[in-house]
Chain A
Amino acid sequence: MIELSDVSKSFVLHNQGDAVIPVMAGAALSVAPGECVALVGNSGAGKSTLMRMIYGNYLAGGGAIRVGDVDVARAEPREILRMRREVLGYVSQFLRVVPRVPTLDVVAEPVLAAGGSHAEAEARARDLLARLNVPERLWTLSPTTFSGGEQQRVNIARGFAHLFPAMLLDEPTASLDATNRAVVLALIAEAKARGAAIVGIFHDAEARAQVCDREVDVSGFAPAQAA
């Protein structure tokens, strides 16, 4: 479902003496439907960079990144937009929303964007918010004023609202208490059971052991140091 081959990336800092910083070379990854792969490696090894290249908000320098039938490294913006609506979900570490939009609508939006009905979207949003223990009295309020943990749960509910065939999870269990952590792990297990291919970053080793089938060490994709 997700296939990376020979992916490379460097950053060019035009305003800092045109410094070229190679960050990745020869990255390869293959994730089958129903499989969850954890990206591991030290801080700065490129876990987030690799994940962002798969999502398309970082431009790959070279190689191929196939998600379903789209090669993210080469696709037109509108193909990537369609892929993000229908195929590839992303649970980021932070919630980014339009101010003033009620929590229920924030969570329901991906279902609507993927072509679901209003009734279906709302039912799904209610179900997820209840499971993640977000108090019902907050559902009509904008999540911008919520606590960190509440925002993260809204973010997770939003990420799981549409049944994506492929998902990227960036620290989904960070800043959650034990009860909600268990709910998130159950959501991941359900997504795997229905055949979703998942790539995740988990600093929480226990969570990783529980839901991930394999680990891929990103430091193996570090570019060779020039002498």
Chain B
Amino acid sequence: MVAEVSVEGYEAYKKAAEENKSKLVFALFCGSVNANGESWCPDCVTAAPVIADNLKHAPKDSVFIHCGVGGRDFWKDQNNVFRKDPVLKLKSVPTLLKIGHPQRLEEAQCAKPEMVKMLLEED
């Protein structure tokens, strides 16, 4: 079974990715939720159950990092660290990545079961 890790913010993401660099790592970047558990990012909310349903397709021994990118204002800053990171180069949330591989799904693609399954499955 894939090991799930939840982190908040860029530094915590980098730390989690570094700790698991010997493994196959998937990462999902979503808008962070507030104290009441509400998200500012409707696409992230739509994608969440689809991704949860398909996690069973990820190879065992792989790691799945759920990362909150912060509040809406932080994310909308075009120069935020997630957008500027040369590996992540995020353009939108949600973004689902297979780290170190070209596989990437963005926005509504993350809510398509077939696409999520394809990204998580072994080639």
Q: Do A and B bind each other?
A: no
Interface residues of A (CB under 8 A from B): none
Interface residues of B (CB under 8 A from A): none
